């Protein structure tokens, strides 16, 4: 290639990368297309254009348009193989396939392709002039591992999730913005296996991250999370001390929930606190967004059920009817959740409606089985979720 033509080619690449970093994807795509026309045998024009199209696809909300963009990027693999000499088993090809899977919300597909790219022999990267691709693949593989851990955690497969989390932890750079999410998922996994101290250590890492960035509200929320972990471990005094560290004017749904759970635990231990705690929960449910009321409803209902024997029939029935109505509202909004059915079974039994109680028991078993079926389905390798690996 003539020197002037090569200079123009490199100029388009440089300008395209600048546009890409600025989020001006259309301008970047145009620059990379011009670079491809000048030198179709150089892998960079094809690759950077494909990666930019994938980046654009991630931000596209219309599913049909997103799929069109993914196919457009995938089509560039043909010229990469035929004109630029990309090896069929090259890490670059696996990397691009991983980006396509990521755009399609195929978590497992993205993870597997990025892993294939990461596992490729170092000499396969040498034909791409630098180790920049290797660094991109490392980040993509780390994020895919993190996304995979997140999905698996949702189905209580904690040991499996922990393996993927370790991969992300090992390969994700220390200053990556999603490293905090790694610790959030780590806390969920630790809680799931009963390691509450480990969960607290993960949340303390999140606090360090947010303090360094001056995110006071997030720091306060994480402090409230630590209090709830203490409560899970039965350490009421530690939870009280943790919540006492919060600024007096700190307000959030998570903080409200933590204070409510503290009162709930204390009311279970000291029944005379029950009325005050129920009043707290009524106010919390009134103020909470409708899709978050369930955060408080389960504990409200459980406390009502725990204190029914301390009330006479006249006092008990209105409270049980209130609990029934609130649980029915949560069930209508979250029909897939087993907890309301389980609690309604008990409430209807106390109200003397055995038929309804049996119906709720059957529905509770059904919802539990549906949840297990989904977990079993995902165990066969059919995981899907919205990822951010590109």
- With CA atoms as reference, report the closest residue to 78 among 68, 88, 90, 91: 88
pLDDT at 86: 64
- Torsion angle, CA of 170/173/175/180, rounded to 10 degrees? -40
Residue 262: which of 236, 238, 225 has the closest Cα?
236
DSSP 3-state of 63: helix
> Percentage helix, strand, coil, to 5, in the chain?
80, 0, 20
Cα dihedral sign, 347-351-356-357: positive
Q: Which of 342, 309, 340 is nearest to 325 (CA)?
A: 340
In this structure, which long-range contacts are made by residues 127-133, counting pairs with CB atoms below 8 Å and at least 24 apart in sequence? 127/87, 127/90, 128/43, 128/92, 133/91, 133/92, 133/95
pTM of the predicted model as reported, rounded to 2 decimal places = 0.69
Q: Distance between CA atoms of 57 and 64, rounded to whole angstroms?
A: 10
Q: What is the full DSSP assignment across 325-385?
A: HHHHHHHHH-TT-HHHHHHHHHHHHHTT-HHHHHHHHHHHHHHHHHHHHHHHHHHTT----
How would you write the pLDDT of the chain (390 residues) with one tens digit per residue? 568 888 899 999 999 989 988 889 999 999 999 999 998 888 888 888 998 999 899 888 898 999 999 999 988 887 777 765 666 667 778 888 888 988 888 888 888 888 888 777 766 666 555 556 777 788 888 888 888 888 788 777 888 889 889 888 888 888 787 888 899 999 999 998 899 999 999 999 999 989 988 999 999 999 999 999 999 999 999 999 999 999 999 999 999 999 999 999 999 889 889 999 999 999 999 999 888 888 899 899 999 998 877 777 778 899 999 999 999 999 999 898 889 999 999 999 999 999 999 999 999 999 888 877 655 544 444 433 333 333
- Determine the Cα angle at 370 with ends 382 and 385, to 5°: 35
Could you tell me the two tokens for 181?
């999410």
Give the separation between CA 146 and CA 171, rounded to whole angstroms.
Answer: 11
pLDDT in the model for residue 381: 42
Core vs surface per residue 86-97: b (16+ CB within 10 A) or e: beeebbbbbbbb
């Amino acid at each position: 290639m003539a020197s002037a033509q090569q200079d123009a080619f490199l100029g388009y690449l440089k300008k395209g990368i600048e546009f890409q970093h600025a989020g001006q994807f259309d301008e970047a795509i145009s620059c990379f297309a011009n670079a491809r026309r000048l030198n179709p045998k150089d892998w960079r024009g094809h690759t950077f254009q494909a990666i930019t199209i994938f980046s654009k696809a991630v931000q596209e909300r219309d599913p049909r348009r997103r799929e069109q963009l993914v196919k457009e990027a995938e089509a560039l693999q043909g010229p990469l193989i035929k004109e630029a000499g990309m090896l069929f088993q090259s890490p670059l090809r696996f990397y691009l396939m991983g980006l396509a899977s990521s755009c399609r919300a195929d978590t497992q597909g993205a993870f597997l392709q990025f892993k294939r790219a990461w596992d490729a022999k170092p000499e396969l990267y040498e034909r791409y002039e630098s180790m920049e691709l290797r660094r991109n693949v490392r980040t993509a593989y780390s994020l895919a591992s993190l996304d995979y851990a997140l999905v698996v955690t949702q189905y209580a497969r904690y040991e499996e999730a922990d393996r993927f989390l370790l991969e992300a932890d090992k390969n994700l750079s220390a200053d990556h913005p999603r490293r905090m999410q790694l610790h959030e998922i780590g806390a969920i996994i630790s809680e799931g296996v009963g390691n509450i101290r480990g969960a607290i250590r993960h949340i303390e890492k999140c606090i360090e991250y947010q303090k360094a960035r001056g995110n006071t509200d997030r720091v306060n929320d994480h402090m409230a999370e630590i209090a709830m972990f203490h409560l899970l471990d039965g350490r009421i005094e530690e939870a009280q001390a943790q919540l006492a560290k919060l600024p007096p004017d700190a307000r959030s749904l998570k903080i409200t929930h933590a204070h409510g759970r503290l009162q709930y635990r204390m009311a279970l231990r000291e029944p005379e606190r029950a009325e005050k705690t129920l009043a707290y929960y009524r106010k919390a449910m009134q103020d909470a967004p409708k899709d978050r009321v369930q955060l408080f409803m389960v504990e409200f209902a459980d406390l009502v059920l725990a204190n029914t024997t301390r009330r006479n029939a006249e006092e008990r029935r209105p409270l049980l009817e209130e609990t029934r109505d609130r649980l029915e509202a949560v069930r209508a909004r979250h029909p897939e959740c087993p907890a309301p059915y389980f609690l309604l079974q008990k409430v209807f039994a106390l109200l003397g409606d055995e038929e309804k109680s049996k119906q709720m028991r059957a529905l509770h078993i059904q919802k539990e089985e549906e949840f297990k079926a989904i977990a079993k389905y995902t165990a066969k390798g059919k995981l899907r979720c919205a990822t951010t690996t590109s």
